[in-house]
Amino acid sequence: MKITRISAYQAKLPYVGGTYCWGRGNVIDTALTTVVTVDTDARISGCGECCPFGANYLAAYPEGIVPALARLAPALIGKDPRQLHAIERAMDNALKGHVYAKTALDNACWDILGKACDLPVWALLGGRLTDGAPMYRVVPQKPLEESAREMAAHRKAGYRQFQIKVGNDWKADIDSILQAASLLQPGENAYADANMGWTVDEAVKVVRAVRDTGLMIEQPCATYEECLHVRSRSELPTKLDECVTGIDVAERIVHDRSAEVVCLKISNLGGLTKARRVRDYLIEHGLSVVSEDTWGGEITTAAVAHFAASTPPELLYNTTDLHNYDTVTSGTPGPRTAAGRLYAGEAPGLGVEPNLTALGQPVAVYQ
C-alpha cells in the first residue's frame, strides 16, 4: 500500500458559547481547523485534524500549517501509511517541529491502518481499557452567576468535573477559585487552569491564598521551570499542560515529581504515535493523564476518544468532547457521549469521515 495523494481542507469552527475567555485576557469566538485526507493505491483513505487555538498556541497558528504540509506531504508520497514509525521518521527528517501539521498526517495514517486491519484505533493502541471516559467541561471566565448557570447545565448533562478558567487578574482569580469551590456538589471536583497566565510571583500568591480549597492548579506559568518553582511553594495538587511537548518533558516530570496529573494534548505532541509513547511512560510511573487536544471537531475528538479508551481507567483523569464545543462539524459521525462520558466506537479506524460539505474545496493537494 502506498500514499498517492494528500489533501488539506480548512474550516472555521465557531464556539458554541459565543466567546471563549482564558489567561491574560485572551478571547476567541472562532477557531480555524485543518483536516487532512490521505489517499492510497489500495483505495483506503484516512483523515486527521489539527486545530491550534488562540494566542496560547501562536507558534503553530493555523496559517502556518499548510506551508508545513507543503514540506511534509512530498516526503510521504509513495510511503506505506501502515508503517507508522517509518512515517514518523520521514516527517521528522523532512521538517523539524511543526507538530500540529504532523499530528493531522500521523492520525490519518492510524485511521488507514485501522481500516486496513478492520480494527478500531483503540485496539491498535493496546485495547479497550476504559469503556466510557469521564469528561470535564470548561467554565470560561464569566461572572459568578453565569458560571453557576453553566455548571448547573453541565451537571444536568452528567459532567462532574469542571475546569475553571483563570490566569487573568491574579487578585480576581483568587475570588474566582474560591467561588468555584463553593459551587461544587458532593462527588464533583474542579481545577483552576491559568493557561500560563500568571507570573511566578502571582502564582505563588494565588496558591497560598486558595490552599484551603484543595483545588488542583493547572499550568500556572509559561515554562516548566516556572511551574516547578510554584509547585515547590504550593500545598495544592498540580496539573501540567502546555509545557508537555514530548518524552523529554515527561522524563523531567517523573524525576521531579512536579505534577499529579499530566495533560496530553495530541497535537502538542505530534500525533498518536508520539502521544502513546509519552502516555505509556507516564502511566508506567504511576502518573494520571488527560486525553485531549487543543481544539477541533469530530475528527479530533475521535482520536481523543480512542486514546482515552486505550488508557487504564485508574490513571485516566479525564477527557473532553471537543466537537460539542463547536457549531460546525468537521466530520461524521461524531463520537458518542452520554452521562458525562466519551465513547470510542467499534468501526474500523477512527470511525469518522470528513464532512466535505462543511469543509468545502481543499486548500492544497499534494500527489
Confidence of residue 83 (pLDDT cuts 50, 70, 90): very high
Q: How would DSSP label each residue in 6-41?
A: EEEEEEEEEBTTS-EEEGGGEEESEEEEEEEEEEET
pLDDT band at 54 (very low <50, low <70, confident <90, very high): low
Which range (6-20, 43-57, 67-81, 120-134) has the least confidence?
43-57
Q: What is the reported pLDDT for 62?
A: 54
Give residue 63's pLDDT band: very low, low, confident or very high (50, 70, 90).
Answer: low
Looking at 165, 171, 239, 274, which residue is catalytic? 165
Alpha-carbon gap, residue 56 to 335, rounded angstroms = 27
| Residue 102 pLDDT exceeds 60 | yes
The average pLDDT across 266-277 equals 97
Catalytic residue among 102, 115, 239, 265: 265
The pLDDT tens digits for 161-219 are: 999 999 989 999 999 999 889 989 999 999 999 999 999 999 999 999 999 999 999 99
Record the cell numbers describing residue 167, joined without a space. Answer: 490566569
pLDDT tens sequence across 219-258: 999 999 999 999 999 999 999 999 999 999 999 999 999 9
Instruction: Say whether pLDDT at 342 is over 70.
Output: yes
What is the mean predicted confidence (pLDDT) over 143-157?
86
**Between 62 and 363, where is the model more confident?**
363
Mean pLDDT (the chain) is: 94
More confident residue, 170 or 25: 170
Res 354 pLDDT > 70: yes
The pLDDT confidence band at residue 33, using thresholds 50, 70 and 90, is: very high
Number of H helices, E strands in the chain: 13, 19
pLDDT at position 58 over 50: no
Annotated active-site residue 156? The verdict is no
Contact 332, 306 (CB under 8 A): no
Query: Cα 108 to the chain's mean position, in Å?
Result: 16
**For residue 22, pLDDT beyond 80:** no
Coil, strand or helix at 293: coil
pLDDT above 90 covers a percentage of the chain that reads: 86
pLDDT attached to residue 55: 45
Domains defined along the chain, listed by start: 3-118+356-366 (3.30.390.10), 123-353 (3.20.20.120)
Most confident of 9-23, 50-64, 288-302: 288-302
pLDDT at 56 over 50: no
Residues 6+ apart with CB under 8 A from 269: 99, 103, 244, 245, 246, 275, 278
Is 205 part of the annotated catalytic residue set?
A: no
pLDDT band at 150 (very low <50, low <70, confident <90, very high): confident
Mean pLDDT calculated for residue range 118-130: 98
Element (H, E) at 144: helix 144-156
